[in-house]
C-alpha cells in the first residue's frame, strides 16, 4: 500500500508548515489527486490518520479534490474527457496519445491554527 509513503510525505510537510508558522495544530490538508494517480482516497486518509497520531496533525482533515482524466487531441486540438479508457477524440475520432490531466498528486494547501 504505497498510500503510507504518500501520507508520510504529506505529514512531514504539514508538520513543518505548522511549526514554521508557530501553529499548535494542522487543521486541514488540501490535495488534488488525478484519476490515474493510482491512489485510493480511503487508504490515504486511513494512512494519514494512523501516522499523524501523537503529532500536530492529529485529527487533521484530508480534503481530496478528484481530477478527472482529460486527453488532448493532436489533430484538432480538442481537450476531452475520455469515457472509460477509450481515448478517441469525440470531434475527429483520432486516438489521443496525450493525457493532459488525471495523473496529478498535488498538495494544494495546508491550513493550520
Q: Which is nearer to Zn ion, 94 or 101 (by Cβ)? A: 94
Q: Does 112 bind Zn ion (CB under 5 A)?
A: no
Q: Which three cell numbers stand for residue 103?
A: 495523473
Tell me the chain's radius of gyration from C-alpha atoms: 18
Q: Does 73 bind Zn ion (CB under 5 A)?
A: yes
CA dist list (Å): 21 to 61, 63, 105, 107: 19, 21, 24, 18
Q: Does 92 bind Zn ion (CB under 5 A)?
A: yes
- Shortest Cβ distance from residue 61 to Zn ion (Å)? 40
Residues making contact with Zn ion (CB under 5 A): 73, 75-76, 78, 89, 91-92, 94
Amino acid at each position: 500500500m504505497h498510500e503510507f509513503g504518500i501520507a508520510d510525505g504529506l505529514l512531514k510537510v504539514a508538520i513543518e508548515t505548522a511549526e514554521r508558522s508557530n501553529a499548535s495544530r494542522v487543521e486541514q490538508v488540501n490535495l488534488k489527486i488525478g484519476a490515474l494517480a493510482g491512489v485510493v482516497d480511503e487508504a490515504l486518509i486511513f494512512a494519514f490518520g494512523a501516522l499523524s497520531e501523537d503529532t500536530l496533525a492529529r485529527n487533521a482533515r484530508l480534503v481530496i479534490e478528484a481530477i478527472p482524466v482529460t486527453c488532448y487531441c493532436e489533430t484538432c486540438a480538442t481537450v476531452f474527457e475520455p469515457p472509460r479508457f477509450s481515448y478517441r477524440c469525440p470531434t475527429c475520432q483520432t486516438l489521443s496519445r496525450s493525457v493532459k490531466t488525471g495523473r496529478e498528486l498535488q498538495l494544494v494547501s495546508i491550513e493550520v491554527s
